[in-house]
Chains A and B, each alone.
Chain A
Amino acid sequence: MSHHALSITCSNRLAEIEKATELIEAFGTAHGLSAEVVFKLNLALDEVVTNIISHAYDDEDEHQIAIRVALDGEGVAVRVEDDGRAFNPLDAPRPDLGLDLANRPIGGLGVHIVRSVMDALEYRRENDRNILIMRKRTGDGSNEGARRIE
């Protein structure tokens, strides 16, 4: 099944995200994923990797972020592994979307977007590394949004 998977290594520079986006678009085309699924995978990955690059590191050194995109019977799994400080996105506070503009905080929407566009998230801390697995079902889309992560 190795040809149904894609491994990408990004260094901790924002410009690297564009590289990942292009590779996932090509992977999506090669495997017949819908434009909708590819868009959501890229949006979620952009949010996650941007968070890592912006907040995970206490030093100015170069770090590697390992991304693996794999197809299975149910859909697509995206695994992101980094050596930054521990951060479990499942613990991130949920934004209050009922607030008007004057009372809205600036920012704080990234993890909410990830939860909304993906179907399931798993996080673990292992050997001083963050491992996040995001799953997106493919198929006819009839399940779209039906099991959004609460």
Chain B
Amino acid sequence: MEITEQKSSDVVTLRLSGRLNATTALAFEEKILGRIESGERHVVIDLAQLDYISSAGLRVIVLAGKRLSAENGKMVLCSLTDRVREVFDIAGLSSILSIYGSHDDATRGLQA
């Protein structure tokens, strides 16, 4: 898995590619919690290039979402592939997370 990062005004975007599983979840956890720790409050997680996610990856997303909410921040996700979307659906997370079809929509959603 690779994570690339982009900052635009007060929005930080983390783009994940490859596979987010128990092997790679720790790197993602350290990255996203590090950004929250350093004061980021508006986070987009772009999953357009993510081929696979397991519960280990969902755990980090739930953790980061809760952490940001507690700090009056906001996390949104965008561009889930069908397979990844299916795992979010099974976990009952699609309805309680903010998920958008594109990065533009996600950025707008953060302002809402």
* CB 8 Å contact bits of B53-76 with A (1 = contact, 0 = none): 011101100110110010000000
Chain B nearest CB, measured from A89 CB (Å) = 13
- Say yes or no: is B87 at the interface (Cβ < 8 Å to chain A): yes
User: Does any Cβ of A come within 8 Å of B39's Cβ?
Assistant: no
Whether A110 is near chain B, meaning CB under 8 Å from some CB there, is yes
Tell me the total A-B contact number using a CB cutoff of 8 A: 65
Minimal Cβ-Cβ distance residue in B for A115: B90
Q: Chain B: interface secondary structure?
A: helix
Q: Is the CB of B66 within 8 A of A104?
A: yes
With known contacts A18-B23, A116-B90, A101–B55 Cβ distance under 8 A: no
Which of A46, A95, A100, A104 is the one whose CB lies under 8 Å from B54? Answer: A46
In the bound complex, residues from chain B placing their C-beta under 8 Å from that of A95 are: 91-92
A76 within 8 A of partner (CB): no
- The 8 Å CB contact of A113, one of B63, B87, B96, is B87
Asked whether A106 and B59 contact (CB < 8 A) given A15-B23, A97-B92, A98-B92, the answer is yes
Closest to B68 in A: A101
By size class, the interface of chain A is: 20 to 34
Residues of B within 8 A of A46 (CB): 21-22, 54
Interface string of A75-105 (1 = CB under 8 A from B): 0000000000000000000010111111010
Could you tell me if B92 and A101 are in contact, using CB atoms closer than 8 angstroms? no
Q: Is the interface of A mostly helix, strand, loop or mixed?
A: helix
Question: Using Cβ atoms and an 8 Å threshold, which residues of chain A touch B63?
Answer: 106
Known A-B contacts A46-B54, A47-B54, A100-B96; A112 and B23 likewise in contact (beta carbons under 8 Å): no
8 smallest beta-carbon distances between A and B, as pairs: A97-B92, A110-B55, A109-B55, A50-B22, A107-B59, A116-B90, A14-B23, A106-B63
Q: A43-B52, A106-B62, A107-B55 are in contact. List 14 more A-B contacts (CB 8 A).
A: A15-B23, A47-B54, A50-B22, A53-B22, A97-B91, A97-B92, A99-B96, A101-B65, A104-B96, A106-B63, A109-B55, A110-B54, A110-B56, A116-B90
| 21 contacts across the A-B interface (CB closer than 8 A) | A14-B22, A43-B52, A46-B22, A46-B54, A47-B55, A50-B21, A50-B55, A50-B56, A53-B22, A54-B22, A95-B92, A97-B92, A101-B65, A102-B66, A102-B69, A104-B62, A104-B96, A106-B62, A107-B55, A112-B90, A113-B90
